[in-house]
Amino acid sequence: MSRTSSVRIRGRSESRTLGRSPSGALHHARVALIGFDAPVTHLPRRPQTASNGTVASSAALRVSPCSTTHADGRAAPLGATVCPGGVNFSVFSRAASGVELLLFDRENDARASRVIRLDASIHRTYHYWHVFVPGVGSGQIYGYRVHGPWEPASGMRFDATKVLLDPYARAVVVPERYRRDAAGTRGDDAAAAMKSVVADVSAYDWEGDAPLQRASSRTIVYEMHVRGFTRHPSSGVVERKRGTYAGVIEKIPYLQALGVTAVELLPVFQFDVQDAPPGRVNYWGYAPIAFFAPHHGYSSGREPLSAIDEFRDLVKALHRAGLEVILDVVFNHTAEGDEHGPTLCFRGLDNATYYILEADRSRYADYSGTGNTLNANHPVVRRMIVDSLRYWVQEMHVDGFRFDLASILSRDPSGDVIPNPPVLWDIESDPALAGTKLIAEAWDAAGLYQVGRFVGDSWKEWNGRFRDDVRSFLRGEDAYVERFADHVIGSPLLYGHKQREPEASVNFVTCHDGFTLNDLVTYDRKHNEANGEDNRDGTDDNRSWNCGVEGPTDDPAIERLRTRQAKNFLATTLLSVGMPMLLMGDEVRRTQRGNNNAYCLDDETSWFDWTLLSKHADLHRFVTLLNARRALRGDEHEDHLALSQLLRQAGITWHGVRLHEPDRRPSSHSLAFTARAPRDGAAFHVIVNAYWEPLSFELPPAASGAGRRWRRWIDTFLESPRDIVDWEQAPAVDGPSYRVEPRSVVVLFTTLE
């Protein structure tokens, strides 16, 4: 997560009352509105009749907004719904005194082509403002102006000079002259405001596609950035498709060959690219402003609705290749920032509903580190979050979600942590989301840390302790051997008490936030000067080791050590019990030149440099063969084993340099263990030497049976292609012991009868 800048709101708007039509017919007038002239439509109420001309029952009217074409519209569903003959618009605002629906011809227009003033006596049901507009359809650009008091001390920040996005918008367009600061300063911002687009999402041909629902035990996650994956000229993707959903489609064969089974996409909800320090852009996308709309900047098409189908084309293509799609979703904050930030959507619709406020209601609680915190356990916000997730599963066919700073969803409207957060149970128990992968980043930016104790029965967790402890052990720190041993067998100290599946732990050593794998073995400290914050941003707790020289070097011995350390980290991640996750480009030593917080750098610092594929072909091969073996996991019935059951089946025995004598002293930097792996049809003997000298380890007898011998699958000290081999070609290991060179991982195996 990044810290971003905001702009102080220096003005407020006057509250305006809404007029009513003097007659029962549609009435058009030219009036002065928010500083400019626009045609204003007053929509009167009409009798509620069914299609046959009779009065429809209330039950019939509740079925769908399309069951009526009356000008008053319907409260449900929220958003803009295409119906025969027009569109039903509905938006929530409890404290608004008036709402205007603005229709635009183009995203760059400074004036709406039509303004529809909603009459509270006929266009408001409960706190929902709604209207049916005949004659418009999919592709219509629109926005809202919402009137009400400007009383920050009471938590109300209505500003009718601002064009607001629809929280349920299925598509968003960004004008060429978009300015974030225009939404945070005095005056009308129509020309510079993002706008919503009506979308009929029912017309797409999925050709029989559906979410894959692959077993977690067969899942290997690849965290990647849509733009960064193909934006580099070396990607081979044509210019107009680089950095887009369509560009990713062209590189799917690479993902298949690598052997990963799921892509975890950094945020693809529409976000504000200008939510960044001056002169920078928000590259990562953790600045959401529309939870139902795919980011338009990732579309190769320029039409208002092009992002929707291009994203669905990507999902369909990935599914055909056997790859699941997991979205990194941000329901903990929005791009509107703190009290000095812009009014883009939620702040101007109902500030006190959508955000957690401090006791001083003019200030925002900040548990996200970005200036505000979404009020996730408010009933209206809970509904929006669940509706968003349902939409992405049912209409966009995604397979799972990784929840950024998920522990924020455990906080109530006062910011206190509650034991059974309604929104988390709503998500987990929703039948439309059954079988969907739910992954929590189980902490927040205010110190709440729930790894190993996140709420729920089926949530998986980014195991931050795995990352930190594995880094510390493999770089040679004291007092980490016990923790390392626990993590390689599924972190039972964290998850064993819950009778959870072995894959409750998502194992990783690198992700978008922090050093890449190359930089983890190349830099001792962060180098974030390019971010423009004097290297103050980003964590100082990297647990990295530069192997003797800070930054790039031509020393072949150091380069060999760095590659070996990279293999050690990858072997540990992919062989440990749990669901492994790899960071885009780690398989070819992608570097960010020591930057551990490149959220604002949309350049070669962050992009995948495809020339590295040949430069580091040995590491790429190593990862590919590791993935291929993990993908051969055994029978379906074993997927229902709890971690504790799996460990009992494995019959793990621990060793040190001597059999059955594990060295768990703080000064120990090595361990070995033997385990049966029914899923793999083999027994393994794993040796990890994080010490800086070679060690000789005694070997246990191989499995019983004529001719059973240990075979060497992996030895990270050896040069490619001997560092990892196909099982069928694995050489036999003779003798009672095996010499393990400094800072190396060795894996021996023997097949089970």
Each residue's pLDDT tens digit, 616-662: 999 999 999 999 998 776 554 456 789 999 999 999 999 999 999 99
| Higher-scoring residue by pLDDT: 60, 197 | 197
Q: Show Cβ contacts of residue 43 under 8 Å, excluding neighbours closer than 6 positions.
A: 21, 26, 71, 72, 116, 118, 119, 122, 123, 131, 133
Q: What is the pLDDT of residue 708?
A: 82
Query: Are the C-beta atoms of 365 and 414 separated by less than 8 Å?
Result: no
- In this prediction, residue 61 has a pLDDT band, given cuts at 50, 70 and 90, of very low
Q: What is the pLDDT of residue 751?
A: 86
Q: What is the pLDDT of residue 632?
A: 74
- In this prediction, residue 704 has a pLDDT band, given cuts at 50, 70 and 90, of low
Q: Check whether the bond before 152 is cis (ω within 30° of 0).
A: no
Each residue's pLDDT tens digit, 238-275: 999 999 999 999 999 999 999 999 999 999 999 999 99
Each residue's pLDDT tens digit, 6-25: 322 223 222 322 232 323 33
Q: What is the pLDDT of residue 66?
A: 74
As to burial, measured by CB atoms within 10 angstroms (0-12 exposed, 13-18 middle, 19+ buried), residue 369 is middle
- In this prediction, residue 39 has a pLDDT band, given cuts at 50, 70 and 90, of low
Using a pLDDT cut of 70, give the percent of the chain over it. 89
CATH code, 642-751: 2.60.40.1180
Each residue's pLDDT tens digit, 474-486: 999 999 999 999 9
- In this prediction, residue 430 has a pLDDT band, given cuts at 50, 70 and 90, of very high
Among 8-22, 246-260, 446-460, 705-719, the range scoring the smallest mean pLDDT is: 8-22
- In this prediction, residue 543 has a pLDDT band, given cuts at 50, 70 and 90, of very high
Query: Are the C-beta atoms of 344 and 273 separated by less than 8 Å?
Result: no
Work out the number of other CB atoms within 10 angstroms of the CB of residue 180: 26
For 105, half-sphere exposure in the C-beta direction (CA atoms, 13 angstrom radius) is: 6
Q: What is the pLDDT of residue 611?
A: 98
- In this prediction, residue 45 has a pLDDT band, given cuts at 50, 70 and 90, of very low
Handedness of CA 100, 106, 108, 112 (dihedral sign): negative
Write the CA distances from 337 to 62, 161, 165, 232, integer angstroms: 37, 19, 16, 31
Catalytic residue among 272, 366, 404, 723: 404
Q: Chain-wide mean pLDDT for the chain?
A: 90
| Higher-scoring residue by pLDDT: 33, 251 | 251
How far is Cα 94 from Cα 99, in angstroms, rounded to an integer?
11
Q: What is the pLDDT of residue 429?
A: 97
Query: Are the C-beta atoms of 331 and 291 separated by less than 8 Å?
Result: yes
The label of the residue with tokens 């590659």 reads 563
Q: What is the pLDDT of residue 288?
A: 98
Q: What is the pLDDT of residue 565?
A: 98
- In this prediction, residue 1 has a pLDDT band, given cuts at 50, 70 and 90, of low
Q: What is the pLDDT of residue 64?
A: 62
Domains 27-203 and 642-751 share a fold: yes
Q: What is the pLDDT of residue 640?
A: 76
How far is Cα 240 from Cα 246, in angstroms, rounded to an integer?
9
Give yes or no for residue 328 having a pLDDT over 60: yes
Give yes or no for residue 182 having a pLDDT over 90: yes
Work out the number of other CB atoms within 10 angstroms of the CB of residue 105: 12
Give yes or no for residue 62 having a pLDDT over 90: no
Give yes or no for residue 32 having a pLDDT over 90: no
Give yes or no for residue 30 having a pLDDT over 50: no
Q: What is the pLDDT of residue 633?
A: 66
Give yes or no for residue 555 having a pLDDT over 80: yes
Give yes or no for residue 180 having a pLDDT over 90: yes
The label of the residue with tokens 């522990």 reads 407
How far is Cα 659 from Cα 662, in angstroms, rounded to an integer?
8
441 assigned to active site:
yes
Q: What is the pLDDT of residue 641?
A: 85
Q: What is the pLDDT of residue 271?
A: 98
Q: What is the pLDDT of residue 421?
A: 97
Within its chain, how far is the Cα of 201 from the centroid?
A: 23
Each residue's pLDDT tens digit, 84-121: 999 999 999 999 999 999 999 999 999 999 999 999 99
* Fold assignment, 27-203: Immunoglobulin-like (2.60.40)
How far is Cα 424 from Cα 454, in angstroms, rounded to an integer?
10
Query: Are the C-beta atoms of 258 and 587 separated by less than 8 Å?
Result: yes
CATH code, 220-330+377-404+437-630: 3.20.20.80
Give yes or no for residue 38 having a pLDDT over 90: no
∠ CA 189-161-176, nearest 5°, is 15
The average pLDDT across 166-190 equals 96
Q: What is the pLDDT of residue 752?
A: 79
How far is Cα 719 from Cα 405, in angstroms, rounded to an integer?
40
Helix (H) or strand (E) holding 561: helix 556-575
Using a pLDDT cut of 90, give the percent of the chain over it. 85
Catalytic residue among 100, 441, 501, 513: 441
Q: What is the pLDDT of residue 47?
A: 37
Helix (H) or strand (E) holding 239: none
Compute, in degrees rounded to 10, the torsion defined by CA atoms 608, 610, 612, 614: 160
Q: Where are the alpha helices (DSSP H) in 395-480?
A: 422-429, 464-474
| Higher-scoring residue by pLDDT: 63, 672 | 672
**Domain locations in the chain as residue ranges:** 27-203, 220-330+377-404+437-630, 642-751
The average pLDDT across 158-171 equals 98
- In this prediction, residue 447 has a pLDDT band, given cuts at 50, 70 and 90, of very high
Q: What is the pLDDT of residue 603?
A: 98
Q: What is the pLDDT of residue 223?
A: 98
Write the CA distances from 745 to 395, 515, 559, 560, 691, integer angstroms: 45, 22, 17, 14, 11
The average pLDDT across 718-743 equals 96
Give yes or no for residue 726 having a pLDDT over 60: yes
- Closest by Cα among 475, 482, 389, 481 to 437: 389
Among 454-458, 528-532, 680-684, the range scoring the smallest mean pLDDT is: 680-684
- In this prediction, residue 42 has a pLDDT band, given cuts at 50, 70 and 90, of low
How far is Cα 85 from Cα 68, in angstroms, rounded to an integer?
10
| Higher-scoring residue by pLDDT: 94, 1 | 94
- In this prediction, residue 41 has a pLDDT band, given cuts at 50, 70 and 90, of low
Q: What is the pLDDT of residue 52?
A: 34
